[in-house]
Amino acid sequence: MRHLHLVRHGPTHAKCMVGWTDLPADLSDADSLARLSRHLPSTAALVSSDLARATATADALATPGRSRLPHDPALREIHFGAWEMCAFAQIEAEAPDHIRAFWETPGDIRPPGGESWNDVLARISLALNRLPTGDVIVVCHFGAILATLQLCLGLTATQAFSHRIDNLSVTDLRHDGAWQLGALNHLP
Whole-angstrom distance, CA of residue 165 vs CA of residue 142 = 6
Residue 11 domain-assigned (yes or no): yes
Q: What is the CATH number of the domain that holds 32?
A: 3.40.50.1240
Please choose, from the candidates 54, 61, 59, 9, the residue with its C-alpha nearest in 3D space to the C-alpha of residue 38. Answer: 61
Q: Residue 84's domain spans which residues?
A: 2-181
Residue 106 domain-assigned (yes or no): yes
pLDDT confidence bin for 70, thresholds 50/70/90? very high
**Phi, psi (5° rounding) for residue 72?**
-120, 110
pLDDT value of position 171: 98
pLDDT value of position 47: 98
DSSP letters, 89-124, are: HHHHHH-HHHHHHHHHS-SS---TTS--HHHHHHHH
pLDDT confidence bin for 71, thresholds 50/70/90? very high
Residue 64 domain-assigned (yes or no): yes
**Amino acid letter, 11:** P
Residue 151 domain-assigned (yes or no): yes
Please choose, from the candidates 126, 145, 111, the residue with its C-alpha nearest in 3D space to the C-alpha of residue 17. Answer: 111
Q: What angle do CA 158, 160, 165 make, to 5 degrees?
A: 130
The whole-number average pLDDT for the span 30-46 is 97
pLDDT per residue over 155-164, tens digit each? Answer: 999 999 999 9
How many domains, in total, are found in the chain? 1
Residue 187 domain-assigned (yes or no): no
Residue 186 domain-assigned (yes or no): no
pLDDT per residue over 128-183, tens digit each? Answer: 999 999 999 999 999 999 999 999 999 999 999 999 999 999 999 999 889 999 99
Residue 188 domain-assigned (yes or no): no
Chain centroid to CA 66: 20
pLDDT per residue over 82-123, tens digit each? Answer: 999 999 999 999 999 999 999 999 899 999 999 999 999 999
Residue 25 domain-assigned (yes or no): yes
3 SS3 class: strand
pLDDT value of position 146: 98
